Amino acid sequence: MTTPTATPNARDRILEAACASIAEDGIDDVRIARVAMRAGASTALVHHYFSTREELLEQALMHSYELAAEDRFGQPVDEDASAVERLKVMIDECLPLDGRQRQEWILWVELWLRAARDDSMRPLAQRLYTSYREWMLAVIRYGAEEGEFQVEDPEASADVAMGLLDGLGIRPLIGDPTMDVEKVRVLAATRIARELGIEPEALTQ
């Protein structure tokens, strides 16, 4: 039997196609043939890398989460930016904006559901949330050290900020007509500003 020709980026291309399919169709409706077509690959090549549909889906989700964590939480901050300026950028990074961030949000919801039902997914979810929290906590601590933020408990403030962004962000994702992305931005930024002892306009303008 001839082994399908594999290119160095073929596996990643298949995983990215699977992620896009999960976001568009839902995890239950993903089919290997559709993923192969989207990736410009044969079904034989998909099976060369992933023996089952379930393995493909699991690896696709993990691929997406790891990339999101690296892109969002692993990027160096602008050393010349103030804590307020950094936090404004971070708030935007956490919104379900159209395109890449909306897809990441949909896959993040899949993670919530799978981690709630499957113990084996919880270490991954915990690792990603640890990165998320450390990312948020670092800028809050920096702002406190520089005298920009007035906080008694930076860790609690980081948890509040994450809760606001996650909780409010789900509503525009599901099409709630009373909560669009811009309203989430302003509402979350206003409450986060108050949590940090600064004027809301510092984060909303």
The CATH class given to the 76-204 domain equals mainly alpha
Cα 202 from Cα 192, distance rounded (Å): 11
- Dump pLDDT digits (tens) for 17-40: 988 888 888 777 889 999 999 999
Domain boundaries, the chain: 1-61, 76-204
Q: What is the CATH number of domain 1-61?
A: 1.10.10.60
Residues sharing a CB contact under 8 Å with residue 64, sequence separation 6 or more, in sequence order: 15, 19, 103, 104, 107
Q: What percent of the chain has pLDDT over 70?
A: 91
Lowest mean pLDDT among 30-34, 142-146, 158-162: 30-34
Residues sharing a CB contact under 8 Å with residue 94, sequence separation 6 or more, in sequence order: 165, 166, 169
